[in-house]
Amino acid sequence: MTDQTEDTFQSFHHAEKTTDEPLIRVMALHALAYCERLYYLEEVEEIRVADANVYSGRRLHDKIDKGPDIYSLELASERLGIRGKIDCVKRRSGELVVSEHKKGKSNKGEEAWPSDRLQVLAYALLLGEHTGEQINEAHIRYHADNRTIKIRVSPEEAEKEVEAAVQRAWQLRSALQRPPVTASEYQCRTCSLAPVCLPEEERFSEEQGDRKVQRLFPQDDERRVIHLVEQGASIRKDGEQFVIYLTDGTKKQLPGRQIGSLVLHGNVQISTQCIHFCAANNIGVHWLSFGGHYVGGLQPGSGGVQRRVRQYQALSDPGLCRQLTRRLALAKIENQLRYILRATRDKKQDSRDKETELAIEQLRASIKALSSLDGDAAQKVENEDTGKEPIDFIRGHEGIAGRIYFSLLPRILKLAEDDFLAFDGRNRRPPRDPFNAMLSFGYALLYKDCVAALQAVGLDPSFGFMHTPRSAAYPLALDLMDLFRLILWDIPLIGSVNRKQWSKDDFAVTGKQVWLNADGRRKAISIYESRKQEKWKHPVLNYSLSYARTIELEARLLEKEWGGQPGLFAGLRLR
Ligand code: SF4
């Protein structure tokens, strides 16, 4: 490459600086040609996931042998409406050639993939406009099958193709709804956004369950959740590591990339540098009060005003709110009933006492009433003399079922009447006995995870459907929590009580208030986090995943209720 040619490439992004409309990235056109939904998720909703494929692609570009050619050239054109970064520009036989490197295989060893072809055509146009030379050829090097595909470039044809793609990209930018999933299931298997897009679940919903769902949603999150309960501890950053300083002078180091979230209980300090690192690396930070109340958090989530607008529009529709409330209440009561049936069965006598049988019948009656309440039936309730809105009718059944469920807990807890953990009904704010202190603390941990899941999905937790904004708690997080209270906290907690894992030393008493102390909190956190890592099979989608991932999955399925693929949210049932 001559000095003169190098001078030709000195000015980058000139057009970008002079135009009001943002230019479309060439890689966005690549995504568009691959799948319109992928383009929409990345460019409109601003969701990007750097998975193993993306990282290995970056490493490939770092490793490419640097020859006498020009690498990583950034160009922009206001006329074309695009900007991009070319892997490499070569001069061959006197002509400039665009050269791209791809980690995967070519199309049957003979052709470039359509999205790759569109990408190099756009680069050829940018390069031609910038240098004033006609670009007649582009090369794509596919490293997996060691093929170089040469593409002839006709500037007029290329311009038509790129212009059509840019127009489509602008159309989609102003659309409120996501485009449908691609017809090619194969493409989804290698798509980095499959865990966000959930294409298999959508196809399952459209085909009304008549297919086996291929799990593209990760089974678990390998990054760790770190709880800091030591009062007076502080956390700082050293390079890519977190360093925890404890009050006894010891310190612990944690690799930043292996952490999914930090949960700070009470008086624990965190440095500004740590918070910056967490925000930049998708690590959640959550603050809980000493008593276990959720104070607030930092959860880097997906942007995209479209998602919020869709949520507000959908949850302003009383019909949809009624439907979701009914399904959520049904899921909650059915799970309570299943658990009570399982936990109160006397294996020797194969029977239950009368009071338990009566309570079970009441739960069944609530399930029957809610099951029959759909569409027209819901409207009828409104017109009856009860004066109740249908949604209040549903909430009423949910509340009654909750009271029945808690009234049966003493029969499930194998405790003497005078045991320090004996439970005599739910109380809170503040809890007045050890069992209620444990319930409240576990629910605070669950609430934190529900807020984080909703924010990660890009939903506004303050706009719910069943709960109303009566307290500082986010209504949508309370809605989502109701699916998991029993499964993620009540069941493992009751198991730990019946295994005699708790002692009086785990609690602190202040007047009439009872709290978990540091040891008690550590115990509760360990039970809760272990439960989250347990795998189970989703009863609707029929694939296995951890409970931790199930919270996010249900948040994503909830969003699909107004995204055109309803019917999958709150199908979760105890087996
Ligand atoms: S998962 Fe499939 S449908 Fe969804 S964005 Fe990726 S390729 Fe498109």
For 197-226, write each residue's pLDDT tens digit: 888 877 776 665 555 655 555 655 667 888
Ranges 279-288, 350-359, 434-443: which has the least confidence = 350-359
Q: Cα separation of 106 and 113, whole Å?
A: 7
Q: What is the per-residue pLDDT for 356?
A: 86
Ranges 11-20, 70-79, 99-108, 345-354: which has the least confidence = 11-20
pLDDT-based confidence at 457, cuts 50/70/90? confident
Q: What is the per-residue pLDDT for 288?
A: 84
Tell me the residue type at 177: Q
**Which atom of ligand 1 lies nearest, measured to the CA of 182?**
3
Our mutation pick for probing the ligand 1 site, out of 34, 35, 45, 172, counting the most ligand atoms within 8 A of Cβ, is 35
For 478-517, write each residue's pLDDT tens digit: 999 999 999 999 999 999 999 999 999 999 888 778 889 9
Minimum CA distance residue for ligand 1 atom 4: 197
* 485 vs 470, more confident: 485
Structure tokens at 289: 């009060």
- DSSP-assigned beta bridge partners for residue 102: 142
**CA 175 → CA 21, 42, 310, 558, distances in Å?**
17, 14, 11, 21
Domains within the chain, CATH numbers bracketed: 3-191 (3.90.320.10), 224-282 (3.100.10.20), 305-560 (1.20.120.920)
**Residues 104, 154: contact at Cβ < 8 Å?**
no
**Averaged over 349-353, what is the pLDDT?**
70
Phi, psi angles (nearest 5°) of residue 564: 100, -5
**Residues 238, 271: contact at Cβ < 8 Å?**
no
Q: What is the per-residue pLDDT for 11?
A: 40
For 249-263, write each residue's pLDDT tens digit: 889 988 888 888 898
Minimum CA distance residue for ligand 1 atom 2: 188
* 300 vs 393, more confident: 393
3-state secondary structure of 292: coil
**Which atom of ligand 1 lies nearest, measured to the CA of 185?**
2
Our mutation pick for probing the ligand 1 site, out of 115, 182, 184, 204, counting the most ligand atoms within 8 A of Cβ, is 182
Q: What is the per-residue pLDDT for 549?
A: 85
Q: What is the per-residue pLDDT for 144?
A: 92
Assess whether pLDDT exceeds 80 at residue 7: no
State the distance from the centre of ligand 1 to the C-alpha of 569, rounded, in angstroms.
20
Burial class (CB in 10 A: 0-12, 13-18, 19+), 99: buried
Q: What is the per-residue pLDDT for 98?
A: 93
For 148-182, write each residue's pLDDT tens digit: 999 999 999 999 999 999 999 999 988 888 898 89
Assess whether pLDDT exceeds 50 at residue 17: no
Q: In sequence order, which ranges of 252-389 are alpha helices (DSSP H)?
A: 272-280, 305-315, 318-343, 354-371, 376-383
**Residues 155, 96: contact at Cβ < 8 Å?**
no
Percentage of the chain modeled with pLDDT above 70: 84
**Averaged over 50-59, what is the pLDDT?**
53
On average, the pLDDT of the chain sits at: 83
Assess whether pLDDT exceeds 90 at residue 411: no
Q: Which residues form ligand 1's pocket by a CB distance below 6 Å?
A: 35, 37-38, 41, 181-182, 187-188, 191, 193-194, 197, 199
ipTM of the complex: 0.99
State the distance from the centre of ligand 1 to the C-alpha of 546, rounded, in angstroms.
23
Assess whether pLDDT exceeds 50 at residue 77: yes
Of 299, 344, 275, 312, the residue nearest 559 (C-alpha): 312
Q: What is the per-residue pLDDT for 482?
A: 95
